[in-house]
Structure 1
């Protein structure tokens, strides 16, 4: 399975947060799955960190890629191909980072791991949390 982690799922995973559903943890740790973190998630974390809304043990531009690598998660860059999907998304969610994640999932045929109900409302494959 090819899985794209929503930002909060990645953060819960690397910080060993109890909020991470067990099914997600098992999926992320399963070596037969290819798990991705979008550059949009790092971008989102950098902004939230700078605003004082995301406490992390180190600056996210350095810390998150190191954690991504340490957990065997692949980087997913943003390219123009996602914009076609982004332009066609219904206005179900106002968060531009989440909308971009949905567009990337559609572009690359990925299943999103999220508990965000607004993301789940999109016509995209979502990993069950149970």
Structure 2
């Protein structure tokens, strides 16, 4: 399975994986699965760090890479897809992750309930 971890999932995985559901932990830890972290998530986390709303290690992204997470860049096709999504939620980062997951055929690992309205594959985190 190919997974895309939401921003809050990346933070919880790095800080305390027990905060995630057993299904999310098992899917992320499964060596047969490919798990991605979006550049959009790293940007969102960086903005929160810059505003003093969040603290993560300076090498946060590298820690995740060493833990098996692969980079997913944001491409123009992702932005175009995000523009076509009906506005269920105002979070631009969340909408980008939905667009990336739909475009790339990924299952989104997230605790956000509004994602279900897009009719996509999700593992509740």
Q: TM-score, normalised by structure 1?
A: 0.90
Partner of 1:15: 15
Question: 2 CA distance for matches of 1:24 and 1:114?
Answer: 8
Which has more helix, going by share of residues?
2
CA RMSD of aligned residues (A): 1.3
Match of 1:51 in 2: 51
Q: 2:123 aligns with which of 95, 120, 127?
A: 127
**2:40/2:96 contact within 8 Å kept:** yes
Query: Aligned with 2:108: secondary structure?
Result: strand
Q: In 2 relative to 1, CA 114–26 (structure 1 residues): closer, same or farther, beyond 3 Å?
A: same
Could you report, residue by residue, the CA deviation over 1:37-75 in whole angstroms, capped at 9, with x for unpaired residues? 00000000000011111122x23xxx2221221211100
SS of residue in 2 equivalent to 1:113: strand
Is this contact kept in 1: 2:107–2:120, CA < 8 A? yes
Given the superposition, is the C-alpha separation of residues 28 and 112 from structure 1 closer, same or farther in structure 2, using an over 3 Å criterion?
same
Higher strand fraction: Structure 1 or Structure 2? Answer: 2
Aligned residue for 1:73?
69
Structure 2 gaps, min length 5: none
Query: Quick one: which of 95, 100, 106 aligns to 1:104?
Result: 100
The whole-number CA distance in structure 1 between the counterparts of 2:77 and 2:38 is 14
Q: Which is worse superposed, 101-110 or 77-86?
A: 77-86
Give the TM-score taking structure 2 as reference length.
0.93
Runs of 4+ in 1 over 3 A off after TM superposition: none
